Amino acid sequence: MRTNRALRTPGGLSLRLDVRSTVVVGLILLAALTASVVLIGTGDFPIPAGDVLKTLLGNGNAGQEFIINELRLPRVLVGLLVGASLGLGGALFQAISRNPLGSPDVLGLSQGATAGALTMIVLFSGSATQVTLGALVGGLVTGFAIYLLAWKQGVHGYRLVLVGIGVSAIVTAVNGYLLTRSTLTEAAQAVVWMTGSLSGRDWAQVWPLLWLCAVLLPLVLANARGLRMIEMGDDVSNALGVRVERVRLLLLVAAVLLTAAATAAAGPVSFVALTAPQLARRLTRSPGPNLVPSLCMGATLLVTADWVSQKVFGADQLPVGVVTGVLGGVYLLWLLVTERKAGRI
């Protein structure tokens, strides 16, 4: 039996609070903050966690303030924001498609963003800013194309996933062609970007992601009730007064923006958008999209994976996308085995 609490404000507004989900979110946030502090202290010049906290509060020496505030803190913040964006975007896609495999990795959005970045690298020898912009545009164009191709008196889950898989295959082929057109230098730059990495990230990547999340998160949460109704089917949602296609389109645009921006900032970091919502759902044991738990889980997964890569292989020796790919692949195999034993596939 689930324990729920209703909070009421003097103005007459009420909010239903799931106690277990709230506790889980609190624990995930604590894990994310702990991993972030440890990650900030990890590197060629190790800094104890206590000194990291003192420096973040403005009580460190000049050397620690430079290393933490200028070099490591922006990287960790980008990791948190990218992970949160991917976790939330993955939860939206899975809820809209009503399919646990309905993530940006499967639907082709990450590949579309990669195509935009490769176009700027190979055809225009673009700067870092131009590559970021190309990735953002590529993700948005791919998302728009998937929506149009999947439209037939509305967009339905299985059709969206199938169209996304087809578009993903096409865009992957385009990416392969672009790589064959590149020089050795361009190919090396492209492969590093395509792996997904937080190396060299600074405040220039933090602020755009922070503003985007600040705008989109309230918009997504304001439509969370409609999204939960949509999970029960279009007919039921319409009967309950939900404007299904409006809500679906709005949240799809938000999910595409979150995914494209995250990919533009750190490259196509694999499997975070797939695994974060499912891990969050298993921990909260709550029906519905679990948007906030998925957001927090995505942030925790990415900074933890970055810490593992630095701790095991050394600073900037192994891109974080390799670690998330290995862990996500293992989780996906476990999920498929579990689903098969349960007779659902």
Residue 304: per-residue pLDDT: 92
Q: Looking at residue 231, what DSSP letter applies?
A: T
Residue 4: per-residue pLDDT: 58
Helix then strand then coil, in percent of the chain rounded to 5, is 75, 5, 20
Q: Whole-angstrom Cα distance, residue 300 to residue 269?
A: 14
Residue pair 49/34 in contact by the 8 Å Cβ criterion: no
Q: Whole-angstrom Cα distance, residue 69 to residue 74?
A: 7
DSSP 3-state of 16: strand
Query: Residue 266: which residues within 8 A CB-CB, separation 6 or more?
Result: 78, 79, 82, 196, 197, 198, 201, 205, 320, 321
Residue 225: per-residue pLDDT: 81
Residue 293: per-residue pLDDT: 93
pLDDT in tens, 258-298: 998 898 888 888 889 988 998 998 898 887 788 999 999 99
CA distances to 32, 56, 78, 165 from 214, in Å: 19, 22, 14, 30
Query: Residue 342: which residues within 8 A CB-CB, separation 6 or more?
Result: none
pLDDT over 60 (residue 14): no
Residue 232: per-residue pLDDT: 66
Residue pair 210/218 in contact by the 8 Å Cβ criterion: no
Q: Which residue has the higher pLDDT, 225 or 11?
A: 225
The amino acid occupying position 72 is R
pLDDT in tens, 318-335: 788 888 888 888 887 887
> How much of the chain, in percent, has pLDDT values that exceed 90?
20
pLDDT in tens, 161-181: 888 889 989 999 998 888 888
pLDDT in tens, 33-91: 999 999 998 878 888 888 888 888 888 788 888 888 888 999 999 999 999 999 999 99
Token pair 């997504």: residue: 220
Residue 155: per-residue pLDDT: 66
Q: Whole-angstrom Cα distance, residue 137 to residue 126?
A: 14
pLDDT over 90 (residue 202): no
Q: Looking at residue 290, what DSSP letter applies?
A: -
Residue 298: per-residue pLDDT: 94
The amino acid occupying position 84 is A
Q: Whole-angstrom Cα distance, residue 41 to residue 311?
A: 11
pLDDT in tens, 219-255: 998 888 877 777 666 666 666 667 777 888 888 889 9
For residues 131-161, one letter each, b for 16 or more C-beta atoms within 10 angstroms of the residue's C-beta and e for the rest, the string is bbbbbbbbbbbbbebbbebbeeeebbbeebb
Q: Which residue has the higher pLDDT, 133 or 12?
A: 133
pLDDT over 50 (residue 1): no
Q: How confident is the model at residue 128 (pLDDT cuts 50, 70, 90)?
A: confident
> How much of the chain, in percent, has pLDDT values that exceed 70?
88
Q: Whole-angstrom Cα distance, residue 59 to residue 50?
A: 11
Range 299-317 average pLDDT: 84
Q: How confident is the model at residue 312 (pLDDT cuts 50, 70, 90)?
A: confident
For residues 316-334, one letter each, b for 16 or more C-beta atoms within 10 angstroms of the residue's C-beta and e for the rest, the string is eebbbbbbbbebbeeebee
